[in-house]
Amino acid sequence: MSKRLYIQTVGCQMNVLDSELVAADLLRAGYELVDSPRKADTILFNTCSVRQHAEDKIYSALGRLKRIKDRHPQKIVGVLGCMAQKDRQGIFHRAPHVDLVVGPGQLGRLPALLERIAAGEGPLLEVSLDRNAGNRVSVQQSFERHDPLRIAETRPTPYQAMVRIMFGCDKFCTYCVVPSVRGPEQSRPAEEIEAEVRGLADQGCLEVTLLGQTVNSYRDDRGRKLRLADLLLRLDAVEGLRRLKFVTNHPRHVSDELLQAVRDLPKVSPYLHVPAQSGSDRILRRMKRGYTAEAYREMLCRIRETIPEVAITSDFIVGFPGETDEDFDRTIALLREGRFKNSFIFKYSPRPKTKAVELYADDVPDEVKRRRNNELLAIQNAISLRDNQPLVGRSVEILVEGPSKAGRKQPDNGHVVQLGGRTVDDRIVVFDGPPRLAGQILAVEIEKVDAFTLFGRIR
Ligand code: SF4
């Protein structure tokens, strides 16, 4: 059987990493990657359940595939990830031409599962236990680990890599489906992470982003208790590595030790993504976020006192059930005071299997959610622009990622195209240069800025 693989990914960085690892496994099993479902023998969708929109996108892509599958029944169609864990059998009901449904805790079994389907078995469903279907250990074990050896070709760029340091989440924010689809919080042993990062640095990787749903609650309690600050100290010593980032932080776990590590360790980026979600205590309580707006403000002060040059980013949800104009005004006030480099702003989307759906009616009209979303975005964009402006005329060090979006459309004849890169505090920089600069760390002088991008030239 020929083994041409197409894989489409929706969702967060954790999903992008999962797809990279799945592709690496399948490349090792003899597959080759292709860029469209039509050219593929195996079509996989790695899915997200955080918002309804992400699920709708996958179900319509599956609908479009039905005709192809009818004409070529030997093609294998698989649904992976969070939506697979959440909807399970329901996916076969809505899309009977799907051959395979695999949750995030079973991705390591994919090569074997695809072989079974090619041999005539199927449809196959492989998912983990529900959070309440057993004790913690049995549920935890049903989310199998999958961190195989890394292959540079399956990463977005060879110079950058994401490394998972923990799985799952135990916070149970009332709007969030992650604790049920990604299972209980589990941290990877520090030496395993260190070995992976060393392997990546040996492959020429310069920048590593450590991933966890609440990355700063990382804990390795075997022997001497290690926290994220200790892990950063170990990884900072990895030869060849130049930059270390970590996302996503939970406000409750922003410890002084962690901030000191960010300040003192030369490779750790002065960049922290710490979602606030709301500026209203009443809504934060309803969300079960576990902190008040005041505690969040106090945390921001501690961060800025310890790391004066820090870039902080945040997430906000607007239109959470019961959110009044006064609640929203409190969110605006927090956003203004936070002086975030940027914020990701989302309209509340009720998700099945979450507490919020059980407890509260989705009572903020969509039009109000949209208005609040736009208002918050406009305020944030003005703040982002002000935050970028002092960089005009200054030189910043960037890691060149390759041609920018515009640069990819320009003819690649080895001459100058628009390139894109990132500063150490995660700002996007575009400038003209030859594509061979990709993977270099160099200085760029900033000539102008907008809210999202710095525009510069090589000095
Ligand atoms: S901390 Fe809250 S929002 Fe983040 S993954 Fe866990 S439950 Fe979801």
Q: For 132, what's the count of Cα atoms within 13 Å in the CB-facing half-sphere?
A: 1
pLDDT at 291: 98
Beta pairing class for 32-33 and 76-81: unpaired
Q: Whose CA is nearest to atom 4 of ligand 1?
A: 213
Helices and strands, number each (H, E), in the chain: 16, 21
Residue 396 is encoded by which pair of tokens? 């910043």
Cβ of 344 closer than 6 Å to ligand 1, yes or no, is no
pLDDT at 137: 87
pLDDT at 1: 61
Cβ(13)–Cβ(163) under 8 Å? no
Q: Which atom of ligand 1 is nearest to the CA of 214?
A: 1
Q: Edge-to-edge, what's the strand order for the sheet holding 4-9?
A: 32-33, 4-9, 42-47, 76-81, 100-102, 124-126
pLDDT at 131: 84
Q: Is 216 exposed, middle or buried (0-12, 13-18, 19+ CB in 10 A)?
A: buried
Q: Is the dihedral angle over the CA atoms 412, 415, 417, 419 positive or is it negative?
A: positive
pLDDT at 5: 96
What does the pLDDT look like over 129-143, one tens digit per residue? 888 888 888 888 888
What does the pLDDT look like over 54-88, one tens digit per residue? 999 999 999 999 999 999 999 999 999 999 999 99
Closest to 103 in 3D by CA, of 18, 165, 32, 176:
18
Instruction: Sketch the domain layout of the chain as residue ranges.
Output: 4-141, 148-389, 392-458
CA of 4 to the centre of ligand 1 (A): 36
Which residues are within 8 A (CB) of 121 and not within 5 positions of it... i.e. 6 or more apart?
A: none
Cβ of 214 closer than 6 Å to ligand 1, yes or no, is yes
Cβ of 168 closer than 6 Å to ligand 1, yes or no, is no
Predicted TM-score (pTM) of this structure: 0.93
Q: Which atom of ligand 1 is nearest to the CA of 289?
A: 2
- The least confident of 154-158, 263-267, 337-341 is 154-158
Whether residue 42 has pLDDT greater than 80: yes
Cβ of 171 closer than 6 Å to ligand 1, yes or no, is yes
Cβ of 291 closer than 6 Å to ligand 1, yes or no, is no
> How much is the average pLDDT of 150-154?
82
Whether residue 21 has pLDDT greater than 80: yes
CA of 69 to the centre of ligand 1 (A): 37
Tell which wins on pLDDT, 411 or 422.
Answer: 422
> How much is the average pLDDT of 201-219?
96
CA of 90 to the centre of ligand 1 (A): 24
Q: Whose CA is nearest to atom 8 of ligand 1?
A: 176
Pocket test for ligand 1, best of 15, 174, 178 (most atoms within 8 A of CB): 178
- Distance from C-alpha of 162 to C-alpha of 8, rounded to nearest angstrom: 18
Q: Which atom of ligand 1 is nearest to the CA of 177?
A: 8
Whether residue 446 has pLDDT greater than 80: yes
**Strand boundaries in 179-258, DSSP class E:** 186-187, 207-211, 219-220, 226-227, 243-247
Q: Which CATH class is domain 148-389?
A: alpha beta
For residue 445, what are the CA distances in angstroms to 309, 389, 391, 405?
A: 18, 13, 9, 20
Q: Which atom of ligand 1 is nearest to the CA of 179?
A: 7
pLDDT at 152: 81
Q: What is the CATH number of domain 4-141?
A: 3.40.50.12160
Whether residue 412 has pLDDT greater than 70: no
- The least confident of 278-287, 342-351, 413-422, 427-436 is 413-422
Closest to 361 in 3D by CA, of 375, 350, 353:
350
Domain 392-458 CATH (choose: 3.40.50.450, 2.40.50.100, 1.20.140.10, 2.40.50.140): 2.40.50.140
Pocket test for ligand 1, best of 164, 166, 167, 171 (most atoms within 8 A of CB): 171
Whether residue 413 has pLDDT greater than 70: no
Q: Which atom of ligand 1 is nearest to the CA of 170?
A: 6
> How much is the average pLDDT of 203-231?
95
Whether residue 414 has pLDDT greater than 70: no
Cβ(7)–Cβ(31) under 8 Å? no
> How much is the average pLDDT of 353-373?
96
CA of 254 to the centre of ligand 1 (A): 15
Buried b / exposed e along 10-31 (16+ C-beta atoms within 10 A): bbbebbbbbbbbbbbbbbeeeb
Which residues are within 8 A (CB) of 167 and not within 5 positions of it... i.e. 6 or more apart?
A: 143, 145, 182, 183, 185, 186, 188, 212
What does the pLDDT look like over 190-200, one tens digit per residue? 999 999 999 99
Q: Which atom of ligand 1 is nearest to the CA of 182?
A: 5
Q: Mean pLDDT of all residues in the chain?
A: 94
CA of 125 to the centre of ligand 1 (A): 26
Beta pairing class for 166-167 and 160-164: unpaired
What percent of the chain has a predicted confidence (pLDDT) above 90?
85
Closest to 400 in 3D by CA, of 421, 427, 428:
421
CA of 169 to the centre of ligand 1 (A): 6
Cβ of 176 closer than 6 Å to ligand 1, yes or no, is yes
What does the pLDDT look like over 238-287, one tens digit per residue? 999 999 999 999 999 999 999 999 999 999 999 999 999 999 999 999 99
Confidence class for position 350, pLDDT limits 50, 70, 90: very high
Tell which wins on pLDDT, 179 or 2.
Answer: 179
Whether residue 147 has pLDDT greater than 80: no
Pocket test for ligand 1, best of 13, 167, 214, 285 (most atoms within 8 A of CB): 214
